[in-house]
Amino acid sequence: MTNIDFKAEVAARKEALIADLFSLLEINSERDDSQVTPETPFGPGPVKALEKFLSLAARDGYATTNVDNYAGHFTYGDDLPDDAEVLGIFAHMDVVPAGSGWDSAPYSPEIRDGKIYARGASDDKGPTMACYYGLKILKELNVPLTKKIRFIAGTDEESGWGDMDYYFKHVGLPDPDFGFSPDAEFPIINGEKGNITEYLHFSGENIGSVHLHSFTGGLRENMVPESATAIISGDLEGIQAKFDAFVQANADKNLKFESELASDDKMTVILHGRSAHGAMPEKGVNGATYLAKFLDEIGVVSPFIKIAGTILLEDHAGEKLGVAFEDPKMGALSMNAGVFKFEDSASNNTIAVNCRYPQGTDSDKIYEVLIALAGVTAVTKSAHEHTPHYVPMEDTLVSTLLSVYEKQTGLKGHEQIIGGGTFGRLLKRGVAFGAMFPGDIDTMHQANEFIPVDVLLRAAAIYAEAIYELAK
């Protein structure tokens, strides 16, 4: 069966693949804690997307299982012996909030210049459907396999991974023996840094010629805040000139201010930067830290603002913060200040500091540095932490996937270790595999997220052959 022309098989299913992908992209599957119920553990959107995905699998003749709307799976190879090995494929239906700055509606997918634009196009609905069609090809060609396949879709990958915690506790099946997640890039991701969010706590007290009433910024801990909003009062004389001067002084950041003065002499100020994935904070412009820098310069006196606007500003490696660390194999720690919440009447204001750390350091060492920051009243950790993960190049999982990549692309494969966290790390023998190719523009977690149609098709062909080689 090795003479299958996988690229031709994908091309024959191009229109169907895109139609099925659009049916998922049209669903706003952002987590919404305000609408959590026993039936919608992360809000209605992720459930709707999961149900749609499982309905596509049922349509195509797979046996499907929905585990209480937390996650679900379909299986292939149920006719194989009970002791057959299981290949797990892990994807996710949830997306990060769309945010602002889109040129088209984020949940009305459209193709422009050969690219599919929508939230989730590249993270992770596009790669998920490319992988789904890779397996669909093998099924429709009735290719004999010796390993079972369990294709698992989660609904909380972008937040706390509560979906997978629940799934593994309640699914009633042994874990897959090995597997991959189509949620990163080629040639392979066989190592992932640790991931912890630690929250800096502050009092609401602030003094100075300008008084800060509130400050909010950021949508998710794993996103660079595109914008931030502050309400201020006090000495606001010449404020427009100060806006203009600050934008000019930071011209390379393309900052944009909005402001509105209310009847009670309070002014609302919004500063726009540029969002990016929190694992690569250097690719964005943190609107919250730049707004804090501005407020610090015009007279707000507050530890919250001082730390946000001076220490956290452009501190992508945590050097000013004091948590910088580099490992020869896994690389350097990265830091993203992702969510900011402040009210002058509150005693528990927070900045969420998300660190992607290599082997050699840990969350406790990071905590010891953060708790010593002047003006910080307490530090707490997120309930969910990922420790560093690595699958050796010698593992047949890694070598097989790299071999398929090299065969189909003509490019040399190599290992990669990233700061991002994927479901690949759910298994001891688990990796991330595609769907971005070297040199592709990364728009994950950004406005105008897209996946090129040709990338979608190339990835589907690679997934088809990869699944075949792993499970034949």
Considering the domain architecture, whether residues 53 and 175 belong to the same structural domain is answered as yes
Residues in the chain: 472
Q: Which of 352, 381, 410 is the last residue of a domain?
A: 381
Per-residue pLDDT, 429: 98
Rounded-to-integer distance, Cα 20 and Cα 35, Å: 27
Per-residue pLDDT, 160: 85
pLDDT digits (tens, 9 = 90+) for 362-415: 999 999 999 999 999 999 999 889 999 999 999 999 999 999 999 999 999 999
- Sign of the C-alpha dihedral, residues 401, 403, 404, 405? positive
Residue 234 lies in a domain: yes
Considering the domain architecture, whether residues 366 and 402 belong to the same structural domain is answered as no
pTM, to two decimals: 0.84
Rounded-to-integer distance, Cα 28 and Cα 45, Å: 6
Q: What is the DSSP letter of 437?
A: P
Residue 467 φ/ψ, nearest 5 degrees: -65, -40
DSSP bridge pairs for 194: 357
Considering the domain architecture, whether residues 175 and 46 belong to the same structural domain is answered as yes
Considering the domain architecture, whether residues 160 and 259 belong to the same structural domain is answered as no
Written as one letter, the residue type at 43 is G
DSSP bridge pairs for 334: 356
Q: Which of 311, 346, 381 is the last residue of a domain?
A: 381
Considering the domain architecture, whether residues 324 and 401 belong to the same structural domain is answered as no
Range of the domain at 61: 6-193+388-471
Largest CA distance in the chain: 78
Residue 178 lies in a domain: yes
Considering the domain architecture, whether residues 104 and 48 belong to the same structural domain is answered as yes
Rounded-to-integer distance, Cα 430 and Cα 416, Å: 14
Name the domain count of the chain.
Answer: 2
Degrees to nearest 5, angle at CA 215 with 209 and 218: 145
Q: Are 167 and 419 in contact (CB under 8 A)?
A: no
Considering the domain architecture, whether residues 14 and 63 belong to the same structural domain is answered as yes
Crossing angle, helix 125-140 and helix 44-59, to 10 degrees? Answer: 20
Residue 22 lies in a domain: yes
CA dist 4 → 8, 26, 141 (Å): 9, 33, 9
Residue 318 lies in a domain: yes
Considering the domain architecture, whether residues 150 and 277 belong to the same structural domain is answered as no
Considering the domain architecture, whether residues 421 and 372 belong to the same structural domain is answered as no
Considering the domain architecture, whether residues 284 and 419 belong to the same structural domain is answered as no
Considering the domain architecture, whether residues 66 and 17 belong to the same structural domain is answered as yes
For residue 345, give both structure tokens.
Answer: 């009447």
For residue 184, give both structure tokens.
Answer: 């990163």
**Positions of the chain with pLDDT lower than 70, given as ranges:** 1-2
Q: Of 173, 188, 192, 111, which Cα lies nearest the Cα of 417?
A: 192
pLDDT digits (tens, 9 = 90+) for 54-80: 999 999 999 999 999 999 999 999 999
Rounded-to-integer distance, Cα 108 and Cα 105, Å: 5
**For 459, what's the count of Cα atoms within 13 Å in the CB-facing half-sphere?**
32
Residue 1 lies in a domain: no
Considering the domain architecture, whether residues 219 and 135 belong to the same structural domain is answered as no
Q: How far apart are the first and last CA of the chain?
A: 10
Rounded-to-integer distance, Cα 460 and Cα 10, Å: 7
Q: Of 31, 442, 41, 389, which Cα lies nearest the Cα of 181?
A: 389
Q: Are 278 and 352 in contact (CB under 8 A)?
A: no
Q: Which residues are catalytic?
A: 94, 157
Residue 358 lies in a domain: yes
Rounded-to-integer distance, Cα 401 and Cα 353, Å: 34
Per-residue pLDDT, 263: 87
Q: Where are the alpha helices (DSSP H) in 124-236?
A: 125-140, 162-170
We report the CATH number of the domain holding residue 62 as 3.40.630.10
We report the CATH number of the domain holding residue 266 as 3.30.70.360
Q: Which of 381, 414, 448 is the last residue of a domain?
A: 381
Residue 454 lies in a domain: yes
Residue 176 lies in a domain: yes
| 200-206-209-212 Cα dihedral, nearest 10 degrees | 70
Q: What is the DSSP letter of 452?
A: E
Q: 3-state DSSP helix/strand/coil percent for the chain, to nearest 5?
A: 30, 25, 40
Q: Are 36 and 149 in contact (CB under 8 A)?
A: no
Per-residue pLDDT, 2: 63
Rounded-to-integer distance, Cα 355 and Cα 456, Å: 31
